Amino acid sequence: MRLLAGVIEIDGKEKLLMIEDGVARLEPVESQAQREEFGCYQLLKKRELHLRRGSVSGPGVFRFRYGPVTAGVREAGCFNLYTFGEKILHAGIDVSWKHRGIEEAMSNKTPQRALALAEAVCSNFAFSHSVAYARAVENALHSNVDMGVQNWRNILLEAERIYNHLHVITKLASAAAQKVLTSHLSSLFEEALRLNEILTGSRYLMGINQVGGFHHLPSLENMQHAINGYSLIAKRFEQLYVHSVNNANYMDRLHAAGTITADQAIAMGLSGPSLRACGVKDDLNTTISHLIQLPVITQNEGDALARMEVRAEEIMNSCEYIIDHLKISDAWNFNTDEATKSIRENGEGCGIANSPSGAVAYYVVLQDGIIAHARIFTPSYVGMHAAAFSLDEYIFTDFPFIFDSFGVHFSDAAR
């Protein structure tokens, strides 16, 4: 299926960054029909920092501003909720507080330096960002990347997925006041972060991916430790998950909160668990056709519960995936010291990666080996727009469930 990930406009010329069957492609825009094919075209073209601007007026209607310094969401961002008392009539999200200008900072930097910047966009998606960026640069330079590197990238993408999904479910459980569940999930989350450190030396998988290669690989002892760790996480998480699904209180808070239909989700440009929860199979993880395929988990309701369930199953599948592939990873021989050969120094390219909350896409233009332009399309940008959209007509008590279930972050949306 075709998904629109980004719209690039440089010097008056427009290009569409498409994801078709899991592969990123650039398409120049020639006709109006191309623009109208996707509902999210305008959204991706404008890349606003004030999402869903608009207001509702009336006697007794006022704007409840939640932010930019909040205790609940803890990131710097502002919610503008229009209400006449309890019901949210219109929600708008202001992400400009965290705009750091990373795309501008990437210009005139070497690819290695810009990779560190890519990891700084949103450090809990650091690995997906660096993989998407590296793929974009490799695509621009027509580099040939070793199969071992590609495999390792996929393993660590799943590692990132595990701890992020655990974090989302922890936040949902905490919002529903399930204290025991929250504590146990929190301990699993911390275990996952420690396993990251064992595998890569960094708790957030930062500084290990490079353009065309890997900085270093974990030792056999570390890999064994990680295998034990992930199997323990999978077992414990399954126990907790089965328990939590039987708790009517918890399920009731999540059920029918923030429902979006499949058509709305596609029109808003969603991808990842938020899209899969509406019943649409996107093929973001079909890039690795030669390895054991990860099943695509979908649910049908499109509410917060469905998004949570998709994430829960993905955790368990990803743990299994990592364990299986770590066991066979010593068969992939490649030299980490050698940088892969690149043929050119100029070019433009795009790359995507399957981040925990959807597709992250990069577009880079290189000139003389230096980054000239960079464009970053993050999953949180469309995700925040969808979260604001789905908040309409719900009461404020459902707010933490609806917002947290999308798994979006302000630093990611604001770049």
Considering the complex, state which of residue 24 and residue 193 has its C-beta at the smaller distance from another protein: 193
Report in angstroms the alpha-carbon separations of 164 from 112, 263, 343, 383, 408. Answer: 25, 26, 36, 15, 10
Considering the complex, state which of residue 161 and residue 167 has its C-beta at the smaller distance from another protein: 167
Residue 231 in the binding site for another protein (CB under 8 A): no
Taking alpha carbons only, the member of 315, 38, 15, 6 closest to residue 132 is: 6
Centre a 10 Å sphere on the Cβ of residue 409 and count the other Cβ atoms it contains: 25
Considering the complex, state which of residue 80 and residue 317 has its C-beta at the smaller distance from another protein: 80
DSSP for 341-379, written as a single string:
P---S-EEEEEEEEETTEEEEEEEEEETTEEEEEEEE-H
> Measured from the CB of residue 168, what is the shortest distance to another protein in angstroms?
11
> Measured from the CB of residue 358, what is the shortest distance to another protein in angstroms?
16
User: How far, in Å, CA of 306 to CA of 21, rounded?
Assistant: 24
* Stretch in the footprint of another protein (CB under 8 A) among 19-27, 89-97, 271-279, 345-353: 89-97
> Measured from the CB of residue 9, what is the shortest distance to another protein in angstroms?
23
| CA end-to-end distance (rounded Å), the chain | 27
3-state secondary structure of 82: strand
Q: Which of residues 114-173 bind another protein (CB under 8 A)?
A: 116-117, 120-124, 126, 167, 170
Q: Which of residues 184-223 bind another protein (CB under 8 A)?
A: 184, 186-187, 189-191, 193, 203-204, 206
Considering the complex, state which of residue 83 and residue 287 has its C-beta at the smaller distance from another protein: 83
Taking alpha carbons only, the member of 272, 352, 30 closest to residue 16 is: 30
> Measured from the CB of residue 38, what is the shortest distance to another protein in angstroms?
24
DSSP designation for 71: S
Considering the complex, state which of residue 183 and residue 293 has its C-beta at the smaller distance from another protein: 183
Residue 396 in the binding site for another protein (CB under 8 A): no
Report in angstroms the alpha-carbon separations of 154 from 16, 86, 135, 252, 292. Answer: 26, 45, 12, 35, 11
> Measured from the CB of residue 340, what is the shortest distance to another protein in angstroms?
25
> Measured from the CB of residue 309, what is the shortest distance to another protein in angstroms?
18
Residue 89 in the binding site for another protein (CB under 8 A): yes
Strand 78-83: give its sheet, edge to edge. 50-51, 88-94, 78-83, 62-66
> Measured from the CB of residue 204, what is the shortest distance to another protein in angstroms?
5
> Measured from the CB of residue 3, what is the shortest distance to another protein in angstroms?
25
DSSP for 97-121, written as a single string:
GG---HHHHHTT--HHHHHHHHHTT
3-state secondary structure of 309: helix
145 alpha-carbon distance from chain centroid: 23
| Count of residues interacting with another protein (CB under 8 A) | 70
Considering the complex, state which of residue 298 and residue 411 has its C-beta at the smaller distance from another protein: 411
Cβ neighbours of residue 179 under 8 Å, at least 6 residues apart?
none
* Stretch in the footprint of another protein (CB under 8 A) among 40-48, 180-188, 304-312, 320-328: 180-188
Binding mask 44-73 for another protein (x = CB under 8 A): ----------xxxxxxxxxxxxxxxxxxx-
354 alpha-carbon distance from chain centroid: 7
DSSP for 216-265, written as a single string:
----HHHHHHHHHHHHHHHHHHHHHHHHHHT-HHHHHHHTTSS---HHHH
Binding mask 242-281 for another protein (x = CB under 8 A): xx--xx----------------------------------
Contacting residue, 50, 53, 100, 281, with another protein by CB under 8 A: 100
Considering the complex, state which of residue 150 and residue 174 has its C-beta at the smaller distance from another protein: 174
Considering the complex, state which of residue 86 and residue 337 has its C-beta at the smaller distance from another protein: 86
> Measured from the CB of residue 184, what is the shortest distance to another protein in angstroms?
6
User: How far, in Å, CA of 250 to CA of 173, rounded?
Assistant: 7
Taking alpha carbons only, the member of 385, 380, 376, 314 closest to residue 351 is: 376
Binding footprint of another protein on the chain (CB under 8 A): 54-72, 74-76, 78, 83-86, 89, 96-102, 105, 109, 113, 116-117, 120-124, 126, 167, 170, 178, 180-181, 183-184, 186-187, 189-191, 193, 203-204, 206, 242-243, 246-247, 409-412
